[in-house]
Chains A and B, each alone.
Chain A
């Protein structure tokens, strides 16, 4: 069996072919459609065999733009690349939007301020925006006085020393007043100071009380009676 197989292979090998090293001529149908002949019509009609090779196909059309070209240069994005690759970007959103008031670094899902929610549940729109009438403005008539504690500090900007430096610089350029940040900062600072002072004060009071107690105990007769008999003897 094996010998037969080898013989068959040898029969079709290019070396044993009567045409030498050329491919053997075997009568078979061109299923691939690659064995083409070109028929030229006109004054001198002729038939030119155009496909002497098996499995020869037309090469794919080469596109002008491939991955071989530097696409960053092609689209003129070198500047953006050098801008982002060079420096180390800060993680926080507040570093991208330094002038935005309020706490913006916390996840948006916490206070329902996420942009996703705007896409998933778009707000009711399509109505014309009109200025408020006097009657409507009456709804905004407020009582004098400060806001309750829980609302007053809710939207205050967090105090960051290095950030304030940037802010100062920015405001100098834009000329916008930073009332709220100043107000909120100072108010929050004073608030913290008050707390600290109170704490210190309380601690001092406690210490004084303790000292007084000790002194009283030392001088009081109870204190001496508190000693053990052995101590008395010594």
Chain B
């Protein structure tokens, strides 16, 4: 649903840009006989805006991080932002997994040592905590 609507919007925008590009060519060396073509292109421009406006409702649920705009404004590839995000998420995921694993090992060692030192208490504890 979202991908198809995005594709539609992309197509419409590409067509709009292409139309503007053609107007640029017509205008850059204007010939009197090109006036009708220019008028048609201008009407197509309005039509293109109407089409983009119609697609507005279909992309309401698309959320774009504001940081991406900074990348684009600086003339940088926005995929670099995605790459950075993925790398950061992966690093954090690994870090948290490391912490969880360390705590699990610590708990297991703790239970072993406690069972050696306080066997009675630990058996009671294990009885209370069925899952331990």
Q: Write the residues of chain A forming the contact surface with B, with a CB cutoff of 8 angstroms.
A: 21, 50-53, 56, 59, 66-72, 77, 80-81, 84-85, 89-93, 95-96, 99-101, 104-109, 114-116, 119, 129-132, 137, 140-147, 151-152, 155, 176, 179-180, 183
Q: Write the residues of chain B forming the contact surface with A, with a CB cutoff of 8 angstroms.
A: 14, 17-18, 21-22, 24-25, 27-32, 35, 38-39, 42-43, 46-47, 49-50, 53, 66, 69-70, 72-80, 82-83, 86-87, 89-90, 92-93, 95-97, 99-101, 118, 121, 124-125, 128-129
Q: A84-B82, A84-B83, A101-B17 are in contact. Are A152 and B28 (CB under 8 A)?
A: yes
Whether B89 and A89, one on each chain, are in contact in the complex, defined by CB atoms closer than 8 angstroms, is no
Q: A67-B100, A132-B42, A137-B39 are in contact. Are A92 and B89 (CB under 8 A)?
A: no
Q: A interface, by DSSP: helix, strand, loop or mixed?
A: loop
A-B contact pairs, 5 of them (CB 8 A): A56-B128, A93-B78, A96-B77, A96-B78, A180-B25
Chain B residues, CB < 8 A from A151: 28
Whether A132 and B32, one on each chain, are in contact in the complex, defined by CB atoms closer than 8 angstroms, is no
Chain B residues, CB < 8 A from A114: 69, 73
CB distance from B38 to the nearest CB of A (A): 6
A104 to B17, CA, bound (A): 13
Chain A residues, CB < 8 A from B43: 131-132
CB distance from A63 to the nearest CB of B (A): 12
Whether A66 and B35, one on each chain, are in contact in the complex, defined by CB atoms closer than 8 angstroms, is no
- A91 contacts which of B35, B80, B82 (Cβ < 8 Å)? B80
Chain B residues, CB < 8 A from A145: 29-30
A52 to B77, CA, bound (A): 62
- Residue on B nearest A71 in the bound complex, by CB: B93
Chain B residues, CB < 8 A from A95: 77
Whether B79 and A89, one on each chain, are in contact in the complex, defined by CB atoms closer than 8 angstroms, is yes
Q: A67-B97, A179-B25 are in contact. List 17 more A-B contacts (CB 8 A).
A: A67-B96, A68-B96, A69-B97, A72-B86, A91-B80, A101-B17, A116-B69, A132-B43, A132-B46, A141-B35, A142-B35, A144-B30, A146-B28, A147-B28, A147-B29, A151-B28, A180-B22
Q: A66-B100, A92-B76, A108-B72 are in contact. Are A183 and B90 (CB under 8 A)?
A: no
Whether A131 and B29, one on each chain, are in contact in the complex, defined by CB atoms closer than 8 angstroms, is no
Chain B residues, CB < 8 A from A116: 69-70, 73
A194 to B121, CA, bound (A): 96
Whether A91 and B100, one on each chain, are in contact in the complex, defined by CB atoms closer than 8 angstroms, is no
Whether B100 and A68, one on each chain, are in contact in the complex, defined by CB atoms closer than 8 angstroms, is yes
Chain A residues, CB < 8 A from B86: 72, 77, 80-81, 84-85
- A143 contacts which of B14, B21, B30 (Cβ < 8 Å)? B30
